[in-house]
Every structure is written in structure tokens, then in C-alpha cells.
Structure 1
Amino acid sequence: MQNFDYIIVGAGSAGCPVARELSADPANRVLLIEAGPHADRFWVNTPAGMAKLYFHKTLNWNYHTEASPQLNNRQMYWPRGKTLGGSSAINGMVFIRGHRGDFDDWRDLGNPGWGYDDVLPHFKAMERFERGGDAWRGDQGPLTISDPVVKSDSSRDFIRAAVSLGHPETHDMNGQVHDGVGFMQHNIKRGRRQSAYVAFVKPVLDRPNLTVMTGAHVQRVLFLGREAVGVELVDGRQIGALREVILSGGAINSAQTLMLSGVGPGAELQRHGIALIHESPGVGQNLQDHFYIHTGWRATADSSYNANLAGLRKYWEGFRYLMTRRGYLALGSSQVAAFVKSHPDAPRADLQISFRPMTFAYFPDGTVAVERQPGMGVSVYQLRPRTMGTVTLRSGRATDKAVCAPHFLTDPYDIGAMISGIKQIRQIMGAPPIAARVVAEEVPGPGVRTDEDILRFMVETGNSAHHQGGTCRMGRDALAVVDERLRVRGVERLRVVDASVMPNLTSGNTNAPTIMIGVKGGAMIREDATPRRQV
């Protein structure tokens, strides 16, 4: 059996910074395992290529939820990156840390070291913010964070309209003031996507103590007693870990791998004939995601860049991008975010409204394309859902996708908050100066007025923002899977380092805090320096 000091399962948003940190010590032999292939492709590197990666047969896990009774028995598509960089290689590149209260909540739930003041140094250490560093931002890290290269007039008018309604403007939602409305930032460098792999691992590939293995799907963690000693791949190969195994497969795969390895709810493991290593009833529980509603607005011609990305003009934009790495192909998925409260008594914003001066058409075969007619898209999701879902096993084989049941729209509070979000979108889009750019509300349309109408619209069209987390959450209660050092409770030499350890989701897109978890997790693993096993 080939042995490494550390084996990291999953080369995604968290796994890549873990690999960089652990391999910085030349005494550590580090193996980074990825089930998918390399991702150095044009549409991966091009920010506007995100739509091309939906349903990609090799770079995407292409998950679907189970049919949801509360959503007219619809199955929901959950894309997750299956390539070097993980979901950071296929997502919209939006960079939002979250509200400081999110992390203080984690700390107060029994996780010392995870308050905002504790995680801020790790956020700063990972960032290379193009505007420069200050008390809240870093400018020396490996991950470039940039403002949109094109800030459209309609985006500016959306901000002005929101401000006119009493929402404060924030010029850096990752700095001192999170709540409010302002331009988003993206992990884009000189017009190219900065995935976690490109930022954290690619620059250190020459380290002789770092091995990156692609096309390697892990079946289970190997144990000797209660001690993790390596991994087994689906093809039967076994690889030893002398110090630790780190699961960084994300909220779906890490929970699945734990259960396939014998760590999880006893009844679930028994149902699939898996020998129990440690009873951990919280594995796969506490699944959280941001339920997402989209609205579409037909716009005046100068309010949208749909026409620039459709028809013959898209070829000019392609040429412009190839020559300059600028223009509309160099933009992330959304331009503006407004963090607002669903009701006045909320302690902080609990809704994220996102604006983009473009709209997509969705076709029955699952493909996505920019609409030809001018349009503006506005979406909303609730930041701190009360709904909890589950990830369970479909079988005892890692190649059979896990069973994902999000249980959306089962909590009255969540439903009320989302209805408020739709109403607030309409308020902003009806306020000057953005109102002058609106020709008509197309989705949900003027026929959807009452709360009952809006709920029906949500049931029929609601989707996921693809921000899954929480299935291996950290804490100190009976359902906590890992402790504050991200060590799996009840076993030795095994950690989970990814979005699945979040006790609650953060306020915004979850990629930035997931990368931070990898940066902080890698630092903790080096600090703990688990001694090598004797073999």
C-alpha cells in the first residue's frame, strides 16, 4: 500500500486550500484526490461560460433531489463541480463572506474559534483584493477578488432605487458593512475564473511532497479499530494515511463517504449492510440550502446586455474577450446584491436580492441560453432557513448518488420570508430610476398578486441557489458530527473540512466561507500535527 501523511478527499473549494497549507511543510507527504478530471478548458476559465457547465457530463456531478411533495413532486437539479476546483470551477464566482453575526452564531453554538474576529484573519490571508487591503480586507493572499469590469447603468439605477426606499448603500459588502445594497465582487483575475484549484494548488504543483490524483472516486475511509488509516477507491485500490484523512467532498459527498465508511446513523448503515464503526446520528442531517426564486423583467434596449451575448454580436464579444479579457464575457453571474430584512424585527438582513442586467432562457432539455430580447433578472433567497433536509444513502456503493431531500417550503417562517422577498423586489423595480427601464414584469407577471398566488408561484418555479451545507455540522451536542477542530467525533485521525461543517448557512453565496473553512482547517491540522502511525 502506498502511504502519505495526509489524504484529502475532494479537490474543491475547501480541499485545495487544505492541500496548499499542509504541503507547505516539506516534511508532509500530501495526496489530494479528485473524482473528476482536470478543468483547464475555455468555458471553465471564461467567467460567462458558467451556463455551458450546467449538465456537463464530465465536470459536474449532476445531482437531483428526490421528488418533493411540497413542490408538486418536482425534482430539483443540483449541479456540483466534479473537477479540480470543485464547485468553484463551475459556479457564478460571486464572493460574499457573510455577515459577522453568522460566525458569531457558530461560536455561540459551542464552537470556540469560529466567531467573526477569529475567522477574519483567515479571510484576509486568503484574499488578494484588487482595491487593496485594510482592517477588513487582505491584498497578499492567493485568491484574487475583483469588482465587475463592466458596471452597467441599469445596475447603478437598481442601487439608487433600493437606496431611495431606505436600504443603505454599501461599497464593500465584504468589509465593515455587509447589509445594504451594492456591487458584488467575484473571484476573477484579469478576466479569468479564479477557482480554488487555480488560486491555491496550481501555483504549488512543483512541490515534490504534493501529489494530485484525478479520476479517483473514493469508496470509503479505511479504519483500524476506530482509527482512520487510509482510503479505498471504487476500483479497489487502497492508499494509506499515516497522519490523517480529511474529507472535503462537500455537503453531499462528505456525508455519503462517512456513512459508506461506517460512521453515521446506525439504522441507515444497517439498512445497506455497512458495518458500524461509530454511531453518529447527525451525519446527513441538518441539510440546509438557500431556496431561490427568480423574477424576470422585460427591459428597454439600453438596460440589458442580452443582445451583446446573442446573435451575431456574441461573436464580436468573443473576439473582444480573446483580445482583451474584458467585456461581458469577463463578468460573473450577478452584478448587484441587496441584503434586506423580511420583517422589521429581524436582527439583521435575512434576504439576499440579486440583480443582473440580463436574462436566461431555460429549455426542456436542461440547456440554458441568453435571451435575445432585452431583459433584467432579479432573484431572492432566504439567508437563514429554518427548513432542514437530509442526505441518506441510495446503496452501499459510492457510485450510486446519495438521496437528497431538502424539504423546501415546509416551514411557515421560511414561506413568509420569501413572500416578503418577492414583494420587495417589486417595490425596488417600481421605484425610480430603475422603474424607467422596465417595460413589463414577465415573471411571475401581473396575474400573481396575493400571498396565495405568490406561494403557488414559488411551489411551481422555486429552485435552489446551490448553497448546500450543514450535513456534518460542528458542535458539542448529540447530533454534532465534528468538533471545533473539525475532527470527526468518536473516531481518530479523521476530519471533515468543507461546507458540511457549517452549523448554519452564511448570509450570501457560500463559496467564500467554504474556502475560508479550508484555509482555517488546514492551519488547524498543521498546528495539531497528529503524530505518524507506526506501520
Structure 2
Amino acid sequence: MESYDYIVVGAGSAGCVVARRLSDDGASRVLLLEAGPPADDFWIRTPAGMARLFLSDRYNWRYSTEPEPALRNRRVYWPRGKTLGGSSAINGMVYTRGNRRDYDHWASLGNDGWGWDDVLPFFKRAEDNERGASSYRGAGGPLRISDPAVMPRSVEAFIEASRQQGIPYVADLSSAGEEGVGVLQATIRDGVRQSAYDAFVAPVRHRANLTVRTDVHVRRILFQGRQASGVEVLERDRVREIRALREVVICAGALGSPHLLMLSGIGDGAMLQRHGLGVLMDSPGVGQNLQDHFSVHVKAQTLPGSSYNFDLLGWRQYWQGLRYVTTKGGYLALGSSLAAAFVKSGPDVDYADLEISFRPMTFTHNDSGSVAVDPYHAISASVYRVRPASRGQVVLRSADPLLAPSFHPNYLHAEEDKHAMLAGLRHARSILASQPMASCIVREMSPGPDVHSDERLVEFMEQQGKCAYHPAGTCKMGRDALAVVDAQLRVHGVERLRVVDASIMPTVTSGNTNAPTIMIGEKGADMILAARPSTTALSAS
């Protein structure tokens, strides 16, 4: 049987990091498996190409939630990456770590080694920040972190208007984890998207001890007793087994990792039995604790010069395309959001629980996921509560490993989330109504100038709210009855099996989740390597 020391399932933001670090010393043979195809595509490399990837059958799982009770039973579209790099190959490239107190909270829950001071070195190790190294930033690492290639004047207007609202300016918003307003950095190198695959795996793929395979669907984890011994895969319409001599590391993401555990007999025992699956470990927390950031947009029509919508339409889009191809500059080299304000929803909140992200352009997308740049000058500010109280779940739909589970995020289920989002909408409106931002704006388009009462604003959220594409928490780390992994990311109740991705977050971080997921990959790899001397390998025979 084909065998490796480590099998890493999922070549996403964490999986690419884990595979790279496990292969760094040359002593271990590492197999990285990805269900999707290679990521050799112009629109993946082009930052603005994320709009083209939003509905891609080839590179996107194109999930949808179940009907959401608090959103008038709408199904919400959930794009997730299906290629080398995972969602880091199709996301908005925004790089924020969250607040330092997020991690101190994780540690307070009994997860030793996960406080801010513990995780900061792993953030820094991954980074090559164009601003250089500092007490917060990393330089020389695999992942390039850069400032926007173009700085439209409306970005500066948004920052100054936020300051007029009493929000402090933070020069290093992406790195320091502070409340305030500032420019957002992105995972872009010289105008080209840097997915986790591009940064961590592509430069070392030639290594003899690293094997990367695409279009391989892992059906289940194999066990000898309670020790993970390998994986069963579907590859080219053939089912076969691959042996892991030391560990299997699941990095399939907050939606894929709990699904794979369930298919492997680890999950709520009653649910597994209903689908005819054997129960290896009754672990009721698998798939529970689902958290995601629920987002709404304030959109405003502007005077010419404050938005670059028209630069992405008509003949100008071809000029921008030529500019990008020849210089890797211009508007096609920008990520999704260029600035953000992190603020509190109320005076009794300990630290910022709202993110207001600013874009000098607008687009329209419906529940099916289709995207189109708006044919008028406009800007937008997206609002979401970064620490939602609502909790959802991933539920097994079938024992068929090719059929996705059902997703129930329960957006706005908690009343406090509604109250916080109302505060966020009012914060965003106040910023746009302050100078110098106000001088750029002709009129508000959504929610609309007539929508002011709590009731009307809640209706707007119910009708127009979307996900922010940050699912987390479904294999949470901890010691309580619903914890799935321990602080070393080892799956409770079995051996030689870990989960290393955003699913292990006890609570979702206060901002975009790609950077924390990469950090989890860095720290998880260190834990795996530290355990190697005391771990006896399975026999290869």
C-alpha cells in the first residue's frame, strides 16, 4: 500500500502551511491531497478576478445554506474554494488578524498556548510584510502582505470621516489588532494574488519528500482500533487506500472537516446511526458551534472621481486589463476592501465588535451568487458583527461522501446580534455623512433615505443580508463536552488524528479569518513536529 509519514487532507489556507512546514526538514514524507483542480488560472492570479470566481463551478464548491428562519427563509449563497489554496484562491485577500483579546479569550477557556503572546510569533513567521519587520509585523516569511496598489481619494475621505466620528486612526490596522480605522493590507505580491498555495507550497513543490495531488476526494479516515492509519480516497473513479505512518491531519475547513469526521465515525452517535454509519467516537460537538459573520451593505451614489465602477465597465475595463497585464498595477490589482473601521456597538462592549469595511466601488449580487459591477458612480461600506452570539451547525445529510452536508448558520438568531448590527448600520451612515466623505456623496441608495426605524432596518437586513464568507468553529478546541480537539489540535478520543484549520476556533476572530487560519496552520505544524520524537510510527507493511 502507498504510504507517507503524514497525510494532509485539504490544500487550503491551513493545509498548505502544514504541508510546507512538515516537509521543511526533509525527514518526513508528506502527502497533500486536494479535492479540487490545480489553480492555474489568470483570474485566480488577478486580484480583481475574485468576481469571476464567485460562481465558478471549477474552483468553487458553491454551497448554500438551508433556509434561514431569521432571514425570511432565504437560502444564503456560500462560496468556498475548491482548488490548490482553497478559499485563499478565491477570497477578497484582506489580511487582518483579529483583536489580541480574541486569543486571550481562547486561552481563558482552557486552551493553553493560544493567548495573543503565544500566537504572535506564528503570525510573524508566516509574513513578509512590505512595510518591514516590527514588534507586530513579520518580514522574510513566505506570505507577502502589501498595501493597496492604488489609493483612491475616497479611501482617505473614509478614514478622515471616521476620525471625525471619534474613531482613532491606526497606522498598522492589519497587524496590531487594535480598535480604530485604517488602511487594510492584502495577500498580494507585486499585483498578483498570493494564495496559501502560492506562498507556501509552490516554491517547494519540487521537494522529493512532498507530494501534492489534486482532484482527489477523501471519503473517510481509516483506523486501526482508535489510531488513524490512513485515508480512503476516490481518485479517477477508483477507490483506494493510502497509509499514514505517523498522523493524518484534516485541514478541510470549517465546513469540510466536520463532514469528514462524521463520515469517519466521529460525531453525534445518534445522527451517524440514522445514516447507517458506525460510531467510532460519540462526539456530539462535531459540526456544532458554527459561526459566521453576517454582512449588510450601505451603498451610496457618488460624484465622479470617488468610485472606480466605470473603470471596470465598457471600454475602460479593457484599458484596465491592458494596464494590469503590462504593469500588474491599476484597479485589477486591488483586493476587495481597502480600509476598515473597527468599532463598538455600545459603551458596555469590552472591545470592538463591529467591522465596517470600505470599498470605492459597488456591485450587485443576488442569492444565486451572480455578481455585476453597478453602472453608476458609487461606494459601499459593509457592516458585520465580528463576534456574533448566534450559533449554527453542520448536519450530515447522507452517508454518501460526495453529497455535501446541510449548513444552518442561524444568522440573527440571537437578538443581541440584531441590536449590534443596527448600531453598525448607524455607525456606517454617520461616517458617510461626515466630512470629507459627505462631499463625495449624492445620495444613499441602500438601505435608502427613507429607511431609518429599527423595524425598517431589520427588514433590510432580513431581505438583503449576506454571509461574509468566514465560517468557523465546527470542530472547536477545548475541554468541554462539545469540544472536538484539545489544545494540541488532537481529536478527542482517538490517536494520530488532528484538525488544523478555522474549524478549531472556539470563537471566530474579530475580523477577516484568512490570516488567523494561516497562523493556525503554522502553530499546528509546530505541534505535530514537536510530537514526532515521542510518536511511534505505524508499520508500513
Asked if 1:453 corresponds to 2:451, the answer is: no
Match in the other structure for 2:65? 65
Q: How far has the Cα of 1:113 moved from its partner?
A: 0.5
Determine the structure 2 residue equivalent to 1:531.
536
Amino acid at match of 1:147: D
Decide whether the 8 Å contact of 1:311 with 1:372 is kept in 2: no
Q: Which residue of 2 aligns with 1:162?
A: 162
User: 1:84 corresponds to which residue?
Assistant: 84
Aligned counterpart in structure 2 of residue 239 of structure 1, from 232, 237, 242: 242
Match of 2:468 among 459, 465, 471: 465
SS of the equivalent of 1:286 reads: coil
The verdict on how the C-alpha distance between 1:347 and 1:365 changes in structure 2, with shifts beyond 3 A counting, is closer
Deviations 1:247-301 (A, max 9, x none): 0000010000000000010011011110000111100000000011112100101
Structure 2 counterpart SS, 1:174: helix
Q: What does residue 31 of structure 1 align with?
A: 31
Rounded to whole Å, the distance in 2 between the matches of 1:210 and 1:469 is 28
1:147 maps to what in 2? Answer: 147
Q: One-letter code of the match for 1:148? A: P
Per-residue deviation at 1:177? 5.4
Write the distance in 2 (CA, Å) between the matches of 1:149 and 1:410: 39
Alpha-carbon distance between aligned partners in 1 of 2:176 and 2:126, rounded to the nearest angstrom: 17
Aligned residue number for residue 281 of structure 2: 278
1:292 aligned residue: 295
Q: Deviations over 1:481-512 (max 9, x none)?
A: 00000000000000000000000010110000
Runs of 5+ consecutive residues of structure 2 not aligned to the other structure: none
Look up the SS of the partner of 2:271 in the other structure.
Answer: helix
User: Which residue of the partner structure matches residue 393 of structure 1?
Assistant: 396
Question: Is there any run of 5+ residues in structure 1 with no aligned partner, and where?
Answer: none
Residue pair 2:98, 2:177 contacting (<8 A) in 1 also = no
Distance 1:413 1:365 in 2: 28
Q: What SS does the corresponding residue of 1:56 show, helix, strand or coil?
A: coil
For the pair 1:417 / 2:427, whether they are aligned, the reply is no
Q: Distance in 2 between matches of 1:362 and 1:255?
A: 29
Map of 1:2 onto structure 2: 2
Q: Secondary structure at the match of 2:159?
A: helix
Residue pair 1:94, 1:334 contacting (<8 A) in 2 also:
yes
SS of the residue 1:175 aligns to = helix
Deviates further, 324-333 or 173-182: 173-182
Question: Kindly tell me: are residues 248 and 418 of structure 1, through their superposed partners in 2, closer, same or farther at Cα, counting changes over 3 Å?
Answer: same
Q: How far apart in 1 are the matches of 2:259 and 2:54?
A: 23
Alpha-carbon offset, residue 409 of structure 1: 1.2
Task: Check the 8 A contact 2:75/2:367 in 1, yes or no.
Answer: no
Matched letter for residue 267 of structure 2: G
Residue matched to 1:345: 348
TM-score of the two chains, using structure 1 as the length reference: 0.99
What is the rounded CA distance, in whole Å, between the counterparts of 1:232 and 1:182 in structure 2? 47
1:408 and 2:411 correspond: yes
Q: Which residue of 1 aligns with 2:114?
A: 114
**Worse overlay, 227-236 or 179-188:** 227-236
SS at match of 1:258: helix
The answer to whether the 8 A contact 2:477-2:489 is kept is yes
* SS of alignment partner, residue 421 of structure 2: helix
Determine which of 461, 464, 477 is the counterpart of 1:474.
477
Aligned residue for 1:237, secondary structure, equals strand
Q: Is the 8 A contact 1:128 1:141 kept in 2?
A: yes
Q: Counterpart of 2:487 in structure 1: which amino acid?
A: E
Alpha carbons 1:170, 1:177 under 8 Å: kept: no
Larger mean CA deviation between 236-245 and 357-366 belongs to 357-366
> What's the counterpart of residue 438 of structure 1?
441
Q: How many residues align?
A: 535
The one-letter code of the counterpart of 1:390 is Q
Q: Which residue of 2 aligns with 1:48?
A: 48
Q: What amino acid maps onto 1:420 in structure 2?
A: A
Corresponding residue SS for 1:387: coil
Whether 2:431 is the aligned partner of 1:428: answer yes
Could you tell me how far 1:365 is from its partner in structure 2?
A: 5.9
Contact map agreement 1:222 1:231 (CA 8 A) in 2: yes
Counterpart amino acid of residue 478 in structure 2: G
1:176 Cα shift?
A: 3.6
Question: 1:201 is matched with which residue?
Answer: 201
Aligned sequence identity (%): 56
CA RMSD of aligned residues (A): 0.9
CA distance, structure 2, for counterparts of residue 531 and residue 499 of structure 1: 28
Shift of residue 364 of structure 1? 7.5
**Correspondence 1:335 to 2:367:** no
CA contact (8 A) 2:97 2:516 kept: yes
Residues in 2 aligned to 1:326 and 1:230: alpha-carbon distance in whole angstroms: 45
2: CA distance, partners of 1:135 / 1:207: 33
SS at match of 2:175: coil
Change in Cα spacing, 1:118 to 1:193, as seen in structure 2 (3 Å) is same
What is aligned with 1:186? Answer: 186
Q: Is 1:306–1:373's contact at 8 Å kept on the other side of the alignment?
A: yes
Q: How many Å apart are 1:25 and its aligned residue?
A: 2.4
Q: Distance in 1 between matches of 2:317 and 2:246?
A: 52
Q: Does 1:515 align with 2:518?
A: yes
Q: TM-score normalized by structure 2? A: 0.98
